[in-house]
Amino acid sequence: MPQLAMLPVVILGVLIAAAAAASSRPHPLDPLSAAEITAVRAAVLASPLVPARPLHFHYVGLDEPDKPDVLAYAYGTTTSPSFWHVMPRRALVIARAGGQSHELRVEITTRNASSVASAAAAVSSHAIHRGAGFPAFTLEEQVAAEALAPAYPPFADSVRRRGVRMDDVVCSVLPAGWFGGAVGAGAGAGAGAGAAAGRVAKMQCFVAGDTANYYARPIEGVTLVVDLDRMTIVRYKDRVTYPVPKAEGTDYRAGKAGPPLRGPVPAPGVVVQPEGRGFQIDGHVVRWANWQFHVGFDTRAGAVISLASVHDADTGLWRRVLYRGFVSEVFVPYMDPAEEWYFRTFLDAGETDLGPWAYPLQPGADCPANAAYLDGYSADQDGNPVKARNMMCVFERYAGDVAWRHTESGLPDQLITEVRPDVSLVVRMVVSAGNYDYILDWEFKTSGIIKFSVSLTGLLEVKATPYTHTDEITADAHGTLVSENTLAIYHDHYVTYHLDLDIDGTNNSFVKNVITTRRNTGDPATGGATTPRRSYWTVQREVAETEADGQVGLDTAAGPADLLFVNPGKKTRIGNEVGYRLIPVGATAASVLADDDYPQRRASYTKKQVWVTPYNKSEKWAAGTYADQSTGDDGLAAWSGRNRGIRDEDIVLWYTVGLHHIPYQEDFPVMPTLTGGFELRPSNFFERNPILRARSATTHGHSANCSCDSATAR
Amino acid sequence: MPQLAMLPVVILGVLIAAAAAASSRPHPLDPLSAAEITAVRAAVLASPLVPARPLHFHYVGLDEPDKPDVLAYAYGTTTSPSFWHVMPRRALVIARAGGQSHELRVEITTRNASSVASAAAAVSSHAIHRGAGFPAFTLEEQVAAEALAPAYPPFADSVRRRGVRMDDVVCSVLPAGWFGGAVGAGAGAGAGAGAAAGRVAKMQCFVAGDTANYYARPIEGVTLVVDLDRMTIVRYKDRVTYPVPKAEGTDYRAGKAGPPLRGPVPAPGVVVQPEGRGFQIDGHVVRWANWQFHVGFDTRAGAVISLASVHDADTGLWRRVLYRGFVSEVFVPYMDPAEEWYFRTFLDAGETDLGPWAYPLQPGADCPANAAYLDGYSADQDGNPVKARNMMCVFERYAGDVAWRHTESGLPDQLITEVRPDVSLVVRMVVSAGNYDYILDWEFKTSGIIKFSVSLTGLLEVKATPYTHTDEITADAHGTLVSENTLAIYHDHYVTYHLDLDIDGTNNSFVKNVITTRRNTGDPATGGATTPRRSYWTVQREVAETEADGQVGLDTAAGPADLLFVNPGKKTRIGNEVGYRLIPVGATAASVLADDDYPQRRASYTKKQVWVTPYNKSEKWAAGTYADQSTGDDGLAAWSGRNRGIRDEDIVLWYTVGLHHIPYQEDFPVMPTLTGGFELRPSNFFERNPILRARSATTHGHSANCSCDSATAR
């Protein structure tokens, strides 16, 4: 755990009681507005607590109110007339100044109750992070670091020796990882072999020239280490010279990749909605069919879904499913131990944030024509708000699929066919974290299912090599030769979700319905019967007591199991505990790195796909809050190691979508989408199929799907 | 293996050489036309080889020509001018007569070369099946058997005792399975404890009354055994009386399930194609984008996809991927050992055929508005053709997804976003095999991927019980109480595909790219480096030599692996073997029944998801040709046990999509769709991403997806 030297909480501002209607205020989970970010900046810069300059803002985001307060707000269980007075609107700021990482809480007070265009704020607490690790890089310091290389004479020599024009060179900052030794603010110790002391990063430079796909053209063999606080190159090595791969065949831009394909092309399908969209977006609250939820935005996580509740048509009640969910970390370790590659073990959310890489979505391509778009706001390094336009989209998906159906031919003289088409609601964000693109979908279904999809596309991270044909390869190349002089290095992708499930209430239990083979004993007392059947399986129900029981590898020898989150205090009419279950849908890889390897210690949670922990507001980031050069002392595995009770508690599911990526030539120069994910599916949550009474397509006037075909059964 | 007493081949007809153009003839893989079925019937009935009457047709289908001949036809490698003379058009007939199963080959000769409206045929061979097992039930004998129950006095007593009106009773024939002892034509031995001798089936009766969902209302405790050849009830037992579950809440028909849901409903999406469909159907050949393939139909398998080839835009060549693929078997064992349930271990394809249960698809609901439909023809019990209208659909799917994309922010003063929307082609069949509905999709993608999806929906098979609340359950109930007096019994679904892959040619190898953890030794000779990284993984390539190597359980301790089908005779420019790989997408369950249990012996292949065998035209049905009351002596595991060579051979992939189904209340009374499947993905098959040059959406005039956003990178 990071050691926070907590200073006394100082309330500098006076909270003004506002009499305005709730609708004129932001939802307590709304991300900070531009005005709020501006006010937070002013408050931090005006605070005497952090006098050092320059002061760089590494994180500015909502410090969400305490969960009971938010639940009271959202579900109306408070009776306090002064409710608004005690609901703070607060920001968390992580800043670097004076060589230290500062954590500040800033209270925001809205001056003008009828508008959020103007806000005031005041720092209420300050702490210096004295443990391992650093906050995420700012965009500005990455740009500044990348500008150092061309002006650095030894690098200019390296570029010249390779016959490359410096104008064509593009550099990219890469987190250095941690490989032993103490690292931290003021610690001054070495970051293990091959890394310099302090807040350092490495850089990889490339040749763009005739291609936009500069990742395909690395200047291999060069190690550049930059001190980000001093913004200077602190170590340089040109170890080996390999040919720079050719530009030809690497570009992916329309018109730059050759003429379009010959032969017939598919006719595009366009999704239209003659009755208009079926959803409403009110501020950050989305209402659609039997769902409502809040879509927030966080610089580190990107999209944040909160307070997802589903309407139970049989009871008329809104029922809670998910308090808060977001992508907590993206771990991408590469598998080449070479000097220029061994450290590439990225923690994309913690080291560089996901939000800044969520670029404007392209209407009609990233999202279909019927999509709506949402913006987001982050703070830049100077603390000023930056708008991320169209960084999320929301759309109704109709893929030609079926929500449920049955054809009945067993009744005399009739053939019954009932079909309900499957229309769902998707919230999408695309994160282009350097070379890779992750399409992250949250799909809500009327059946109560939430489906999570991670689609991988974008560009490979490749290594230059002298090889031009596989026949030349005699030793382990650590990758696939995808083009001449181009090795696509083996790697993994682990996208870890933080999902604070609140199944029909706050207190839940984690249940494993283990499928267990039984011999048929012939004894009814043990479930058997005097029949010739020799075996069957049954369900052994195991309720997790502590966090150790909540760690589940999907491939363990314990046997297949349904993994459920149930509310032990709520039962269906016939006595089943209400619940949701987790269903993996591909991409179930877990890490195979050695437990004592440094990157594995930093992301040790990737050894198991499922972790369940008790809710703790501070436990958000699976690889720890200060992930850059982290040492593994903070994060999911450390918290879970306390082995707290998780039965009938407010619990959180952490699920990792994992892929071992052996590249193939098709992935070059840009990779066709590869999708994996999981779904959360109501399992004895409803009394029966919740869309049994869904309207058939006929009532919408575009085609038949009811029992209109009464022809005699064949 | 079934013992076939082969009689001398007798050619009764004279094959007339036809001079007509190829286009006027059926494709050699076309299913039998109505005229051909009529001619086959006449030939069988006219043949002196099977004089016994009645003669019932249990299977009539294409006996496909030998693979080399079909390949020569499809890919034009023959130079013989008499090619047409040696391409037989032949039917396989399996008929029951005189208490025996007869296998007949029937040569079809088209009299009128300009039309297939009239055909002639002649039996060319005849064999009597003397091994275990029987052909699939006919629809007519199921209807006849179901009519026996109401007229059977002991059953009438049972119904009366339960206070049920006989008019409301509906019965359903269930295969009896095999539980020891010899079974077969003329064998006369008992079919194990609890079953009578000969070709018997069991029946389950239900109460329909006020609901179309009679499966929800079983008359529990009654065992009815019917001899299908003698069409008489041979055993009856009313063992125990449980309440018949109520009708209320079980119906799923629009208007019968209560008023539609309150509250907002999703607005339907309609897929439109302003430029028209992008595919052509010419007879049974489908051409779309860079794919072409043949869609056939077989009574047992349903849809059959053949000769799937993908166009390589870089070389201008059509390249072979799949010679022939279909669903070989659907194994659904239930997990209750009770007298009335232990035998429910269905082999849906082999025992009852899939084709007859593929009812007309509902336009706009089962398939989107832009779909085209295909019919199929089967023979009825009398051998006459029966048209299955709209039993398959073909449509272009646009689900709002992305084929590939990248946003590049690393280049100075520009932000590049390139996105290609993902439009794919789906061939869909829905099999409503009694209570369950299987939506079976073949999805072809321009990236060369073929994705296979099995979506489960329909009605549960439930058991009546005295329980009305889970508190009353003290022993293993073998299922979930989903409503009062209603237990949904635990069961599995195993959908097994036969996929004769021909990756860029006939001879292929099966390769496991096993992901293997290595310690970093620091020794470059073993792939290490003198860096602080302690571990990495690499790929250990294992080429399967024999069928034993081709049996792969996805959860084995051997570690994760990419499973590839490569053509060892074809390499990419840079030396990688061309191949496709198998990617499971959920639903990876394998059977956990005891190896010595009877149903497991009959479907022993379900212990492993992947089997690879050398191509053998006769090896089509994973649970054997005569699956009804089969004993496990024929089928995939028996063939594979010969341990033939599979390296650089014509090989077949058998893949099983598997689900352990613990029912939940939401699955009642009709189950929201649950989908699993797998994809076959080109892996070093193409030199590079084959859709790199795919047209962007802009060129189709409906929206932008190219690098039109050149705003400065944030």
Q: What is the pLDDT of residues B164-177, one digit of tens each?
A: 999 999 999 999 99
ipTM of the complex: 0.93
Helices and strands in chain A: count of H runs, count of E runs: 8, 32
Q: What is chain B's mean pLDDT, rounded? A: 90
Residues in a beta bridge with B193 = none
Kindly state the average pLDDT of the residues B131-158: 97
- Chain A residue numbers with beta carbons less than 8 Å from the beta carbon of B475 are 524-527
What is the pLDDT averaged over residues A338-346? Answer: 98
Query: Which chain A residue has the Cα nearest residue B581?
Result: A664
- How many C-beta neighbours within 10 Å does residue A282 have? 10
Q: Report pLDDT for B116.
A: 52
* pLDDT band, very low/low/confident/very high, at B292 (cuts 50, 70, 90): very high
pLDDT digits (tens, 9 = 90+) for B573-601: 999 999 999 999 999 999 999 999 999 99
Q: What is the pLDDT of residue B183?
A: 58
Q: Tell me the Cα Rg of chain A.
A: 27
Closest CB from B269, B424, B527 relative to A271? B269
Q: Is the pLDDT of residue B449 over 50?
A: yes
> Across the interface, do B342 and A666 touch by the CB < 8 Å criterion?
no
Residues of B in contact with A583 (CB under 8 A): 586, 674
Give the span between the Cα atoms of B398 and B671, in whole angstroms: 25
- pLDDT exceeding 70 applies to what percent of chain A? 89
Determine the Cα–Cα distance for residues A325 and A305; give it in Å rounded to an integer: 5
Answer whether A694 sits within 8 Å of B367, measured CB to CB: no
Q: Do B575 and A469 touch (CB under 8 A)?
A: yes
Percent of chain A with pLDDT over 90: 81
pLDDT at B60: 98
pLDDT at A703: 39
Is the CB of residue A713 less than 8 Å from the CB of residue B387? Answer: no
A607 to chain B, minimum CA–CA distance in Å?
13
Q: How far is A359 from A17, CA to CA, in rounded Å?
A: 38
Note the pLDDT of residue B190. 38
Has residue A709 got a pLDDT over 80?
no
Minimal Cα distance from A554: which residue of B? Answer: B555
The answer for A642, left when phi > 0, alpha when psi is -120 to 50, beta otherwise, is alpha
Mutation site, A411, A533, A708, interface B, largest B CB count within 10 A: A533
pLDDT at A182 over 80: no
Please tell me the predicted confidence (pLDDT) of residue A111.
Answer: 58
Residue A604's CB is within 10 A of a number of other CB atoms, namely: 22
Report pLDDT digits (tens) over A195-242.
446 999 999 999 998 999 999 999 999 999 999 999 999 999 999 999
Interchain contact, A666 vs B676, CB within 8 Å: no
Residue B581 and residue B326: Cα distance in Å, rounded? 18
The beta-strand segments (E) located in A208-290 are 222-227, 232-238, 270-272, 279-282, 285-288
- The phi, psi pair for A634, rounded to 5°, reads -115, 155
CA distances from B675 to A545, A675, B428, B437 (A): 32, 14, 14, 12
pLDDT tens, residue by residue, B683-704: 999 999 999 998 876 544 443 3
Rounded-to-integer distance, Cα B518 and Cα A336, Å: 11
Contact A430, A455 (CB under 8 A): no
Average pLDDT of the segment spanning A36-43: 97
Cis peptide before A669 (omega within 30 of 0): yes
Using a CB-CB cut-off of 8 Å, the residues of chain A touching B478 are: 527, 536, 538
Check if the beta carbon of residue B509 is closer than 8 Å to that of residue B651: yes
For residue A605, what pLDDT is reported? 98
Give yes or no: A348 in active site. Answer: yes
The band of B148, judged by pLDDT with boundaries at 50, 70 and 90, is very high
Residue A414, number of CB atoms within 10 A of its CB = 15
Size of interface A-B (CB pairs under 8 A): 659
Of the candidates B180, B406, B524, which has its C-beta nearest A670's C-beta? B406
Task: Report which secondary-structure segment, H or E, holds A72.
Answer: helix A67-75
DSSP A353: -
Percent of chain B with pLDDT over 90: 81
Alpha carbon B609 to chain centroid distance?
14
**Can you list the alpha helix ranges (DSSP code H) found in A590-684?**
598-602, 636-640
Question: Within a 10 A sphere around the Cβ of B559, how many other Cβ atoms?
Answer: 15
Report the residue from B263, B532, B699 with minimal CB separation from A598: B532
The pLDDT of residue B117: 62
CB distance B691–A261 less than 8 Å? yes
Question: What would the pLDDT profile of B28-77 be if each residue is shown by its tens digit?
Answer: 999 999 999 999 999 999 999 999 999 999 999 999 999 999 999 898 86
Distance from CA of B117 to the nearest CA of A (A): 23
Q: How far apart are CA A253 and CA B418, in angstroms?
A: 6
Question: With left for phi above 0 and alpha for psi between -120 and 50, is residue B124 left, alpha or beta?
Answer: alpha
Find, among A123, A92, A94, A95, the residue nearest to A109 by Cα. A123
Mean local confidence (pLDDT), B464-491: 98
Rounded to the nearest angstrom, the gap between the alpha carbon of residue A684 and the centroid of all alpha carbons in its chain is: 28
DSSP A698: G
| Confidence bin at B1 (pLDDT 50/70/90) | very low
Catalytic choice (A334, A373, A377, A436): A436
Cβ neighbours of B407 in A, within 8 Å = 357, 359, 430, 432, 437
3-class DSSP assignment, residue B348: helix
Residues in chain B closer than 8 A to A208 (CB atoms): 411
Closest approach of B19 to chain A, Cα-based (Å): 32
Residue A17: what pLDDT? 28
pLDDT band at B15 (very low <50, low <70, confident <90, very high): very low
Strand A222-227, strand A232-238: pairing: antiparallel
* pLDDT of A292: 97
Identify the residue with better confidence: A169 or A25.
Answer: A169
What is the rounded average pLDDT of the residues B407-431?
Answer: 95
CB neighbour burial string for A189-227, b if at least 16 within 10 angstroms, e if fewer: ebbbebbbebbbbbbbbbbbbebbbbbbbbbbbbbbbbb
> Which residues on neighbouring strands pair with residue B62, listed in sequence order?
B91
Q: Residue A258's pLDDT band (boundaries 50, 70, 90)?
A: confident
Binned at pLDDT 50, 70 and 90, residue A314 comes out as: confident
Maximum distance among all Cα pairs of chain A, rounded to whole angstroms: 89
Q: At residue B452, does pLDDT exceed 90?
A: yes
Q: What pLDDT score does A694 carry?
A: 87
Residue ranges of the alpha helices (H) in A316-408? 348-352
User: CA nearest A421 in B: which residue?
Assistant: B365
Say what the pLDDT of residue A697 is. Answer: 65
Q: Measure A19 CA to nearest chain B CA, in Å.
A: 32
Query: CA of A10 to nearest chain B CA: how many angstroms apart?
Result: 35
Alpha carbon of residue B280 to chain centroid: 24
With beta carbons less than 8 A apart as the criterion, state whether B216 and B669 touch. Answer: yes
> Which pLDDT value is given to residue B485?
98
Among B348, B492, B504, B634, the one annotated catalytic: B348
Q: What is the pLDDT of residue A195?
A: 41
Which one is catalytic: A348, A492, A628, A634?
A: A348
| Chain B hits for A481, Cβ within 8 Å | 574-576
Which position has the higher pLDDT, A378 or B702?
Answer: A378
